[in-house]
Structure 1
Amino acid sequence: MASLSGNTSFTRRAVRIGFVPLIDAAPVILAHELGFFREEGLDVQLSREIGWGNVRDKLAFGHLNASHALLGLPIQSAIADASAGESIIAVMSLGSGGDAITLSERLLFSGVNSAASLARYVRQSRGQVKPVFAHVFSCSMHHYLLRDWLAAGGLNPDEDVRLCVLPPPQMAGHLGSGHLDGFCVGEPWNTIAHQDRSGRIVSLTTDILPAHPEKVLAVNRKWAAAEPDLLVPMIRSVLRACAFCSDAKNFARIAATLARPKYLNVSPATLQSSLALDRTFGLRPSLNNLRTPDWEMRSFVATFPSVTHMAWLLNQMVRWQHASSAMDPWQIARSCIDATAYRAAAASLGIDCPQGDAPPMPLRGGGLFAEKISEPRLEPV
């Protein structure tokens, strides 16, 4: 691949990219730190954001050109009214999996270590204060995977517990102070709760939904239309960083980079533990019978921006009555993704792409979610 780094007369194009301090922001951060953006002729300024509301608003109103973002942000943008600013689209995925559900030590001491035992605890505690669980944003995978986990244990997430939204870096602190009984969040914030002895991981989200989609690289649609020649080099830079992040031999360097105050501001040792979480909690023998041979806790190389992922998440919104059942999930999902630049960037790096933009999505138990074989919409428990 040709590099522009030796051309001193070349004027690099400015791009402002946001991120929230999470392990899965690593591809964006490492693309910057390893010089991949510069080699592609981009002058990238990274902007650390406290939470997903900031990312949504700054993308919509053009304060960010692109960002590490929740899968659901383009959906929320698509179904919002015009006053919410320009629409947001996803141009690549930043990987799959990587989240977990953590319970407080108080619940664990009471014998709660699963959704089923939590349901028994709630039934025995009727009339008392409901347990409080946090997730990161209303349209996040964390929200709907937490709901799925609770429902599978026999709980009604809208009646039996209280759900609230918190920025990821605040989760462990609120758990330790007793404001929360549990949460679903990305790393390293589960690992930090475990190390602080404020909580313990009881489920990895890839045991709820295998290889589930997680974050995307999202862009302001108006900016993308005005600067189409910047998309391919930006995506190619992040794809190169995804490949770097997927190699365990690079974990020490990744951890040292992410540990800096301007990024995650977490110790390198903690981040290395978080990057290798599938080797600690994730490979407990008791879970082996739940997993297929290709099970992964996290993948940085599942990068194709799939329409199917968006449609699945929309179906969950309909299931829990957070979106109208009259809408067409597949039509909206297609409006949320543009894979054109991704396909060009991937081809230049020799990365294969699915034939269509809506490849089937694996479900728990070996099933598939696809346009012609979608899972039934389940009513809330």
Structure 2
Amino acid sequence: MKQRWYCGTLTGLLLAAAPSLLAQTTNPSAPAPTAPAEQVYTFVEQMPTFRGSRTDSIMAYIRRNTRYPDEALKAGASGKVFVTFVVNKQGQVEQVRVARPLQDALDKEAVRVIQSMPAWQPGQQNGQTVAVSITVPISFVMQAPAQPAATAPKYPGGPEALLSYLAAAPYPDAARATEADVRLFIRFKLDAAGKVTGAKTIGPLMRKPAATPPPRPATEAENLEVEQAAVAYIQAMPAWAPATLDGAAVESEQLVLPIIFSPKPAPSTATKVYPYADQQPVFGTEAARMDIQTSIQRTIKYPAQALRNQVEGTVYLYFVVNETGALEQMQVVRSAGAELNQAVLEAARSQTAALTPAKHQGKPVKVFYVLPFSFRIR
């Protein structure tokens, strides 16, 4: 299958030293007087601007005008070409050269695109127009063949209805004796008909700290009854619209949802944190978007001590992506040991905010994730 291609764009303006300019002579034996070479700056008070607009107009121009050369496609060549050029006092682009070569065909295409640019607004220093040297990276990335079209399962009535269902879990009799205020996480799948299958708890009961001590500690039997009540409530959910692959209904990936049993209802003013949204957050970069689980997994480092001790396991992490796309409220809900837990937390904390946050009915909202991260020694 012929690969599709993608030409990346400017990711920032980089400053680079311009080549020295030497005066020319026409008669070695009797040199004529020459004007001093025009000074080329690498940074000035007012940098040149593309067509007098913002930097993103350069990105759009490069994206629109770059063509992936057939020679480079056949060779499987990809990567970034760094091109240096000078915007002179008249705003014209000149002295275009490849600062960091990649592959001959890609280098030539990058130079061609830069040379084709229209005039810029020239730079200024001390109120005078001056020549300025600029370096830009142009990315050439070949995309993998298109993956089969897939859709995630949808709860009847959407995320708002699912949030209401989870909040309406009846308080179990086994919890009343100890006035338990607990949260459990249930993992399950949905079959091709959208029905819940294989529901199980993950991790222990998570008790909310109480202002006053409970009448007595809960017994093991009471805890088990609470867990069974949570599983039963998830199993009783109405059928979802199933996941699909190329238009056909299929079994879903693993899902994890929380059930909260509290003797007091949550305040109506509490900020809603949705299980999913009409539009989920988008992570990664404009050129390489990815889901948050992949982004975190790539950042995780296997702790050296855990490797030496042959420690393996799966950590389940709960976190919220807020209205700005930032990660918050991180909590390990199933442990695989302190070292592996910490490795997952550090990777999650290092994530940059989403390119776009979740949106429900067109407005940014908070969504939560409960994701597994496995550690295996091969």
- Superposed pair shares fold, TM > 0.5: no
Higher strand share: 2
Higher helix share: 1
- Of structures 1 and 2, the one scoring higher in RCO (CA 8 A, sep 6+) is 1
In the superposition, the TM-score normalised over structure 1's length comes to: 0.22
